[in-house]
A and B are shown apart, each in its own frame.
Chain A
Amino acid sequence: MNKSLFTGILLSALIMLAAIVSFAWTPFDHTSLNIPNKLQAPNGTHWLGTDHFGRDMFSMIMVGARTSITVAFVAVGIGLGLGVPLGLWATARQGGWTDEIIMRGNDLIFAFPSLVIAILITAVFGPGAVNAIIAIGIFNIPVFARVTRGGALQLWTREFILAARVAGKGAIRISIEHILPNLANLLIVQATIQFSLGILAEAALSYVGLGAQPPTPSWGRMLADAQTLVSIAPHMALVPGFSIILTVLGLNLLGDGLRDLLDPKLQQVQK
Chain B
Amino acid sequence: MTPQRVLRAALIFVALVAMHYFVRPLMGWRVSMDFLVIAMLLVAVRVRPGVAAVVGFVLGLIGDSLAPESFGAGALAMCLVGFSASWLKAVFFSDNVFLHAIFFFAGKWAFDVIFVVAARRGGMYEMATQVVLWSPLAAALTAVTGVIVLLLFRGMLEAPST
Q: Report if A and B associate in a common complex.
A: no
B→A interface (CB under 8 Å): none
A→B interface (CB under 8 Å): none
